[in-house]
Amino acid sequence: MPKTLLEQLRGMTTIVADTGDMRSIEKYKPRDMTTNPSLITAAAQMPEYQQLVDDVLLKAKKEVGPGADDQAVATRAFERLAVAFGLEILQRIPGRVSTEVDARVSFDTKGTMEKAHAIIEQYDKAGIGRERILVKIASTWPGIKAAEQLEKEGIHCNLTLLFGIHQAVACADAGVTLISPFVGRILDWYKKETGKDYAPAEDPGVESVTHIYNYFRKFGFKTQIMGASFRNIGEISELAGCDLLTISPQLLKELDSTTGDLPRKLDPEKAKSMNIERLQIDEAKFEQMHKENKMASDKLTEGIEGFSKALENLEKLLKERLAKLGASEKQQQPVGAL
C-alpha cells in the first residue's frame, strides 16, 4: 500500500499540530503542539472544555480575592487558561507545547519577560520541565531582546509572527530555540497586492521559509525553523525537510488521505555549499529592513492586532461565563444564607 504524504513527511520533518482541540492529538499523534489566542478562544467555547474553563475561572476568582470585579477575575483567568490547556495537551503528546505571551505587550521587553515568567512559573508549579515548554513571543525587536534574556535563563522561546529575513536573523543571533515563519499569511499579502495566484514552488511564503532555512544551515545556527500558517498542502510539500511544520487538523487530514511521491526539498547539506550573504542585524538595521519590507511590516502589525483582539474576545467570553457561574452559585445558596 502506498504511503500517504503525511507518513512520508514524518520521515524528514517533525509534525506539530496547530490547534487547541485535544481530539486532533489522538487522531494525528503530533510530537508537539502550538496554540494561539484565537485557537484558545475557539476551544474555550467547545462544550467539552466548559468544565476546564469553569475551574480556571473559580481558581482565578479565589486568587484575586473577595470584592474583585469580573474584569479583574477574567484577566487573571485568561492568563491561566492558556496554561490550563497546555497542561491538558502535555498529557497527550510526548514533546513540547507552545504557550503565547499576551500580544498586547509585544513592543515591551520588560512586560514580555514578566508575562513569560508568569507562564513558566505556572508550569513549574505543575511539575512540568522547561524542556517541554516554548514561550511564544512576537518577533518585534523588543520581543526578540526579551527572548534573548529568557533563553539565558533556561526558558525556551518560539518567536512567532515572523515574516522577513531580518526578523529571522535577529532571532538566530539572539539564540532563540525556535522561530515560526508564517507561510500562508505571506501568500495572502502577495495575492491581495498583485491579484495573482501562485503555484506552490513560486509561493512567496514558501520562498521566504526556504531562504531562512538555507541561511540558518549555511551559517550553522542552532535555532530551529517551524513553518506555520499554511493555506494548502502544496505549500507543505514544498517545505518537506524543514525542521518542524505546524499544521492545522484540516490539512493534516488532507495529507493523511493523499498518496504520491514526496521528495525532500530542504536539505542542510546542500545549504552549506550555497552562496549566501551573511547579514549583520542591530536594532537600527532591523528597523530599517522592517520599514522597507511592507509585507512584513503590514503582517506583523495585523497579526499583533488580531491576537490582541482575540484576547479581548476571550476576556469578554470569560466575563460572561463568570456571570453565569455567579448566578448558578446564588441559585444553589441556602435560603437565609449571608
Q: Helices 70-90 and 37-44: crossing angle, nearest 10°?
A: 100
Low-confidence winner among 71-80, 112-121, 167-176 (lowest mean pLDDT): 71-80
CATH number of the domain located at residue range(s) 5-29+99-304 in this protein:
3.20.20.70
pLDDT of 336 reads: 43
Residue 230, C-beta contacts closer than 8 angstroms, at least 6 positions apart: 183, 184, 236, 245, 247, 248, 251
The secondary element (H helix, E strand) that includes residue 247 is: strand 244-247
Residue 119 pLDDT > 70, yes or no?
yes
Residue 115 pLDDT > 90, yes or no?
yes
Ramachandran bin of 161, using left for φ above 0, alpha for ψ from -120 to 50, beta for the remaining angles: left
- Residue type present at position 337: A
SS3 160: strand
- Residue type present at position 213: Y
Our CA dihedral for 27, 203, 160, 248, rounded to 10 degrees, sits at: -10
Residue 330 pLDDT > 60, yes or no?
no
pLDDT of 155 reads: 98
Q: What is the pLDDT of residues 15-32, one digit of tens each?
A: 999 887 788 888 888 999
Q: Quick one: three-class SS letters along 50-108?
A: HHHHHHHHHHHHHHHCCCCCHHHHHHHHHHHHHHHHHHHHHCCCCCCEEEECCHHHCCC
C-alpha cell at 15: 509534525
Tell me the catalytic residues: 136
Closest CA to 329 of 12, 44, 58, 69: 58
Closest CA to 86 of 140, 146, 130: 130
Residues in the chain: 338
Low-confidence winner among 47-56, 228-237, 270-279 (lowest mean pLDDT): 47-56
Tell me how far CA of residue 154 lies from CA of 109, 128, 248, in angstroms. 17, 14, 29
**N- to C-terminal Cα separation, the chain:** 70
Q: Which DSSP category does 47 fall into? A: G
SS3 189: helix
pLDDT of 302 reads: 97
Residue 293, C-beta contacts closer than 8 angstroms, at least 6 positions apart: 163, 164, 166
Which residues sit opposite 244 in a β-bridge? Answer: 14, 226
Low-confidence winner among 52-56, 78-82, 88-92, 94-98 (lowest mean pLDDT): 78-82
Domains in the chain: boundaries: 5-29+99-304
- Count other C-beta atoms under 10 Å from residue 285's C-beta: 14
C-alpha cell at 275: 552562496
Q: Classify each residue of 39-56 as buried b or exposed e, where b means 16 or more C-beta atoms within 10 Å of its C-beta.
A: bbbebbeeeebeebbbeb
Is residue 159 within 8 Å of 171, Cβ to Cβ? yes
Q: Classify each residue of 214-249 as buried b or exposed e, where b means 16 or more C-beta atoms within 10 Å of its C-beta.
A: bbbbbeebebbbbbbbbbebebbbbbbbbbbbbbbb
Which residues sit opposite 189 in a β-bridge? Answer: none
pLDDT of 210 reads: 98
What is the C-alpha separation between 46 and 24, in angstroms, rounded? 14
